[in-house]
Amino acid sequence: MIKLNQKIERPSKDEIAAIAKFSPATIHEAQGRKGALSSRIKPVDHGMKLCGPAFTVKCAPRDNIMLQVAINYAQPGDIIVVSAGEYEEAGSFGDVLANACLAKGIGGLVTDTGVRDTVQLRELGFPVFSLSVCIKGTVKETLGATNEPITIGDEIINPGDIIVGDADGLVVVRKNEVRDVAKLSQAREDAEAGYIAAYKAGKSVVEVSNLEAVLKAKGLVVEA
């Protein structure tokens, strides 16, 4: 017997808003170059973004019964995160289920399997990040776990961790690190704004990045 776990310790709305201000790339760098999901998982449209707590679900390959269960029990703002064995040859999600998600206010879908109806998904604007696009249908046979730690895109995702995604990719922020990561991300953005201002003021990349001594130590000789 498999019991459905609905309990998630979600971050607060303020914590989610504090993280949502930053790109996945900024967050990844700020938290020590960790948390990035595999670059193979991409949005079906470059304009899609998501940020919210993970509602995790384990699906069997080419089987979407537990995905539908997750949609049924997820709360508004949740990001449904599906581990399905990195199976590319299945279209486990499309426009019909996207409409179900939108009706519930679900914040997005991240899956390591395939999706379909991508034209309609783009028109709907529901954020979908997937391993592949595939028209092949799925069965509804095998039960799996919900809101337990799962592995997707080479990262362990815990229920309630914050998932952030944009055109460049996805990153996870651990729910107990949210406030620290938000501060570190802001500091990184402030530093980068300073670099850009310095470039515009006429300083060189080598000067701004303090690379002259490093390059000299490595033996770089600049000929006149």
**pLDDT for res 185:** 98
Q: What tens digit of pLDDT does each residue of 178-213 get?
A: 999 999 999 999 999 999 999 999 999 999 999 999
* Residue 224 banded pLDDT, cuts 50, 70, 90: confident
Of 28, 36, 75, 39, residue with least CA distance to 55: 75
Paired with 58 in beta bridges are 83
Q: What tens digit of pLDDT does each residue of 107-137 get?
A: 999 999 999 999 999 999 999 999 999 999 9
**pLDDT for res 3:** 84
Q: What tens digit of pLDDT does each residue of 79-98 get?
A: 999 999 999 999 999 999 99
Extended strands (E) in 121-220: 128-133, 150-152, 155-157, 162-166, 169-173
**Averaged pLDDT, 74-81:** 98
**Could you give all domains of the chain from N- to C-terminal order, each with its CATH number?**
13-175 (3.50.30.40), 182-217 (no CATH)
Paired with 114 in beta bridges are 91, 132
**pLDDT for res 7:** 87
